Amino acid sequence: MKRVGKKGEGKWEKISWDEAYTTIANKFQEIIRTDGSEAIIPYSYSGNLGIINNYGVPFRFWSKLGATNLERAVCSDAGKPATKYTYGQTAGIDPESYARTKLFVSWGINHAATNVHAIKFINQARDNGAKLVEVNPVRTPLGSQADLLIQPKPGTDAALALGMMNVIIQEGLYDKDFVANYTLGFDKLVEKVKQYPVDKVAQITGVPAQTIIDFARMYATTKPAIIRVGYGMQRNTNGGRMVRAISLLPALVGMVGVDGGGYVYINGDYWAFDWKALQRPDLVGDRKLRSVNMNEIGKALLGETKETKGKPIKALFVYNSNPLAISTNTNLIKKGLLREDLFTVVVDPFITDTADYADILLPAATFFEYEDVNQDYLGWYVRLNLPAIPALGEAKSNLEIFAELAKRMGFPEDCFKESAADVIKLALKSGNPLFEGITYDALRERHWMKIKLGTPFADRKFKTPSGKVEFYSEALGKAGFDPVAEHIPPGEGEEKTPQLYAKYPIRFLTPATKNFISSQFHNLSYIKEIYEGPIVFINPADAKQRGISTGQWVYAFNDRGKVRLQAKVSEAVKPGVAMSAKAPWHKYSPEGTNINALAPDALGDMGGVSTYHTNLVQIAKA
Ligand SMILES: Nc1nc2c(c(=O)[nH]1)N[C@H]1C(S)=C(S)[C@@H](COP(=O)(O)OP(=O)(O)OC[C@H]3O[C@@H](n4cnc5c(=O)[nH]c(N)nc54)[C@H](O)[C@@H]3O)O[C@H]1N2
Ligand SMILES: Nc1nc2c(c(=O)[nH]1)N[C@H]1C(S)=C(S)[C@@H](COP(=O)(O)OP(=O)(O)OC[C@H]3O[C@@H](n4cnc5c(=O)[nH]c(N)nc54)[C@H](O)[C@@H]3O)O[C@H]1N2
Ligand SMILES: [Mo]
């Protein structure tokens, strides 16, 4: 379809695929002539996790075109380097091994919404007598059943972990053999934790000193023990530091390379595809392409980042994502999308918030309708995704769309002519032992196959510079952090921004809900029926101060925006903390604005990650 109304109005006229392709290719060629290829930027994230339709063929296209490189850092990018500083890899344990643990620590993740399939294994462990701890400022459904519920102030988990290590070391509860043989810098850790005595940590975190001691003792003496670190927690200005501090705990108590014990953050290291064949970064050639961090897309569209100042983005091509609904500081993004001189293409199965601003809107097929291969953030399986039905209407897969655009752009490479099956075969031939026996033919027969891997780190070999688990990391120090670990206060808060805090004293958390996957499904009538609506959880003490009761409409607001929500007064959130679900659509939200209008576009301390949760607001009756 092509836009016939004003930008954002959502008025369309149907056109043919041929006209759409011609329009896009002509416009791209014109922009390349006048402004250079880097005036074109893709925007894409996790609408599907297909190796072909997300991580494969589109990358080939953008490399060949020479588009601005999008730093895809919205999700988990602080925790990855944080974990690597410690273990050299992110390589986490098998979620199925949860069933064999004696202590499961759910740290900054809401399993009941975002990782439901793991609960079966957690419950199996509990049936066998395992204990459960949740560390989360918000009490989640799993946390409601925990043996120990720890509710730190948001953004203080590094202090908590360091305080626990203080107790474990002081009481001699650490694994002397593991520490002596397989770690580096224990002496430095001993010194560091002295700065985190329990009383001070209790003050920083708001967790009672005795609870910290209980948790430390329980963790050090119940074996095997697992720590599962979530992604939500690290979307903070100090999120990398928090994950780094937590990642040291398993090594201190020897829970590394042990079945039923260990650590898991993300298992992307097991996506053992042939990435070079898949993405063809060589197609960039000698060009040095500029980058835009996706968390700054609003600023970038307005020429307010270093790389875009004076060199405006002229075309935005959105697929697998709905930036206006999911990204940060969305009022700014809206301004950018309204630019008359911006050519916007959106490829989506649905007419999303972002689609309303498109000049050309292309109907994307869904994963029910195309072939692909998938792995996920955690599980140890490679799965073949076969189409259940042919594409409905005139929808096409990303693969088909990029292949045809490549043709129209005159890209001669054969890699743009490959079918999904061709690309899958290529991608699986990485020679990585994890994929031993996992071939296209085997997947056609079995549909899902487990990677070949025993207990991670069973051989006690680590890909760190020292070959050991690094309590002290020179690389971390060189990157400007404390080389052991440290707590620093969040970028918006009482300590760092007291004036802002005086105006906006509530920490606003916007984690996932069971009803959506990020922004997906809000438009489905079935989901609309079961979705509780734009609820904000607020602690009774905060509600009382503001004369707010359950069911009342309120505004949450800060300097970035204002959003209308319905109050739910609940002790599930700590005083000073409020929570509302992430990424409903603007157009189905009251007054046409969702919670991401309030979200900061500051970047986190590691990996350029988003900082949705370092977000101060005020809440008042509407
Ligand atoms: N407030 C707040 N906001 C957040 C977060 C948060 O914690 N708090 N979390 C962030 C995180 S972690 C993430 S990963 C992002 C995710 O945000 P996005 O990357 O935007 O992911 P989704 O909303 O899941 O899907 C985006 C779009 O992809 C479309 N889609 C699905 N399949 C296909 C396909 O095959 N082809 C094409 N072309 N499109 C398809 C869907 O219809 C949907 O409109 O959200 C972020 N937003
Ligand atoms: N149903 C459903 N499932 C999903 C998604 C979805 O939107 N809906 N999104 C998918 C995606 S893209 C991702 S990345 C994952 C995300 O999965 P999770 O890691 O579970 O991410 P979130 O729900 O964003 O945040 C998890 C928890 O972090 C807590 N948290 C926030 N700040 C802090 C802090 O400072 N300390 C501690 N300890 N906890 C904190 C929040 O209260 C929240 O309960 O889920 C995936 N699965
Ligand atoms: Mo994510």
Ligand nearest to the CA of 74: 1
pLDDT band at 513 (very low <50, low <70, confident <90, very high): very high
From 268, 296, 318, give the residue that closes a domain.
Answer: 268
Residues 235 and 357 in one domain: no
Beta-strand relationship, 381-385 and 448-450: antiparallel
Asked whether 353 and 325 are in contact (CB, 8 A), the reply is yes
Task: Please give the mean pLDDT across all residues of the chain.
Answer: 97
Q: Is 448 within the bounds of a domain?
A: no
> Domain containing 534 — which CATH number?
2.40.40.20
C-beta of 428 in contact with ligand 2 (< 6 A) = no
The enclosing domain of 85 has a CATH number of: 3.40.228.10
Give domain status of residue 121, yes or no.
yes
Please state, as a whole number, how many other Cβ atoms lie within 10 Å of the Cβ of residue 180: 9
Q: Best substitution site from 212, 231, 264 to test ligand 2's pocket, by max atoms within 8 Å of Cβ?
A: 231
For residue 221, what pLDDT band results from cuts at 50, 70 and 90? Answer: very high
Q: Is residue 490 part of a domain?
A: no
For the purposes of burial, counting CB atoms within 10 Å of the CB of 459, is it exposed (0-12), middle (13-18) or buried (19 or more)?
Answer: exposed
Same-domain check for residues 354 and 255: no
Which among 268, 291, 310 is the end of a domain?
A: 268
Mean pLDDT of the region 499-506: 98
- Positive or negative, the Cα torsion across 275, 279, 285, 290? negative
Does ligand 1 lie within 6 Å of residue 518's CB atom? yes
Q: In Å, how far from its chain's centre is CA 138?
A: 18
Amino acid at 213: I
Does residue 467 belong to any structural domain of this protein?
Answer: no
C-alpha of residue 514 to centroid of ligand 3, in Å: 14
pTM beyond 0.95: the answer is: yes
Neighbours of 307 (CB within 10 A): 18
If you take atom 40 of ligand 2, which residue's CA is the nearest one? 233
Write down the pLDDT at residue 152: 97
The answer to whether residues 49 and 9 belong to one domain is: yes
pLDDT in tens, 56-104: 999 999 999 999 999 999 999 999 999 999 999 999 999 999 999 999 9
Q: Are residues 173 and 287 in the same domain?
A: no
Res. 620 pLDDT band, cuts 50 70 90:
very high
Domain count of the fold of the chain: 3
**Ligand 1 atom at shortest distance from the alpha carbon of 511:** 7
Query: Among 54, 57, 265, 326, which residue has the most ligand 1 atoms within 8 Å of its CB, making it the best to mutate?
Result: 326
**Neighbouring C-beta atoms of residue 206, cutoff 10 Å:** 18
- Whether residues 255 and 283 share a domain: the answer is no
Instruction: Judge if the beta carbon of residue 321 lies within 6 A of ligand 1.
Output: yes
Ligand nearest to the CA of 57: 1
Atom of ligand 1 nearest to the CA of 349: 42
Distance between CA 473 and CA 466 in Å, rounded?
9
130 and 220 inside one domain? yes
Q: CB of 524 closer than 6 A to ligand 1?
A: no
Q: For ligand 2, atom 44, which residue shows the shortest CA distance?
A: 110
**Whole-number Cα distances in Å, 296 to 356, 489, 602:** 20, 23, 8
What are the tokens at 407? 């043709």
Domain containing 134 equals: 79-268
Q: Please indicate whether residue 108, judged by its CB atom, sits closer than 6 Å to ligand 2.
A: yes
Report the CATH number that the domain containing residue 57 is assigned in CATH: 3.40.50.740
| Domain end point (choices 242, 268, 294) | 268
How large is the greatest C-alpha to C-alpha distance in the chain, in angstroms? 72
Is 437 exposed, middle or buried (CB count within 10 Å of its CB: 0-12, 13-18, 19+)?
exposed
Give the pLDDT confidence of 384-431 residue by residue, as tens digits. 999 999 999 999 999 999 999 999 999 999 999 999 999 999 999 999
Atom of ligand 2 nearest to the CA of 520: 7
Which pLDDT belongs to residue 367? 96
579 lines ligand 1 (CB under 6 A): no
The answer on 547 and 399 residing in a single domain is no
Would you mind telling me the total number of residues written for the chain in this entry? 622
Q: Domain for residue 425, yes or no?
A: no
Q: Is ligand 2 within 6 A of the CB of residue 114?
A: yes
User: Are 141 and 28 part of one and the same domain?
Assistant: no
What mean pLDDT is predicted for residues 514-528? 94
Q: ∠391-397-399 over CA atoms, to 5°?
A: 145
Give the mean pLDDT of 318-342. Answer: 98
- Backbone torsions φ then ψ of 55, nearest 5 degrees: -90, -5
In a shared domain, residues 103 and 136: yes
Assess whether the C-beta atom of 233 lies below 6 angstroms from ligand 2.
yes
Q: Is the CB of 515 under 6 A from ligand 2?
A: no
Rounded CA-CA distance 393/401 in Å is 15
Rounded CA gap, 363 and 348, in Å?
A: 6
Ligand 2 centroid to Cα of residue 230, in Å, is 6
Q: Is residue 42 part of a domain?
A: yes
In this prediction, residue 5 carries a pLDDT of 94
Could you tell me if 100 and 228 lie in one domain?
yes
The CA distance from 519 to 510, in Å, is 12
Query: Ligand 2: does its nearest atom lie under 6 Å from the Cβ of 245?
Result: no
Residue nearest ligand 2's atom 47 by CA: 114
Question: Rounded CA gap, 62 and 194, in Å?
Answer: 50
- Same-domain pairing of 258 and 355: no
* Whether 63 and 104 share a structural domain: no
CB-ligand 2 contact for 514 (6 Å cutoff): yes
Give the closest ligand to the alpha carbon of residue 369: 1
* CA–CA dist 477, 401 (Å, integer): 45
Distance from C-alpha of 59 to C-alpha of 44, rounded to nearest angstrom: 10
Cα–Cα dist 574/139, whole Å: 9
Confidence (pLDDT) at 173: 98
Ligand 2 close to Cβ of residue 246 (< 6 A) = no
Is residue 441, in this structure, part of any structural domain at all? no
Confidence of residue 493 (pLDDT cuts 50, 70, 90): very high
Q: Which ligand lies nearest to the CA atom of residue 349 in the structure? A: 1
pLDDT tens, residue by residue, 268-292 = 999 999 999 999 999 999 999 999 9
**516 C-beta closer than 6 A to ligand 2:** yes
Distance 582 CA to ligand 3 centre (A): 11
Instruction: Please give the distance, rounded to the nearest whole angstrom, from the Cα atom of residue 492 to the centre of ligand 2.
Output: 20
In angstroms, the CA 539 to CA 619 distance is 12
Whether 307 is in a domain gets the answer: yes
Q: In the prediction, which pLDDT does 150 show?
A: 98
pLDDT value for 137 = 96
Of 140, 322, 371, best ligand 1 pocket probe by most atoms within 8 Å of the beta carbon: 322
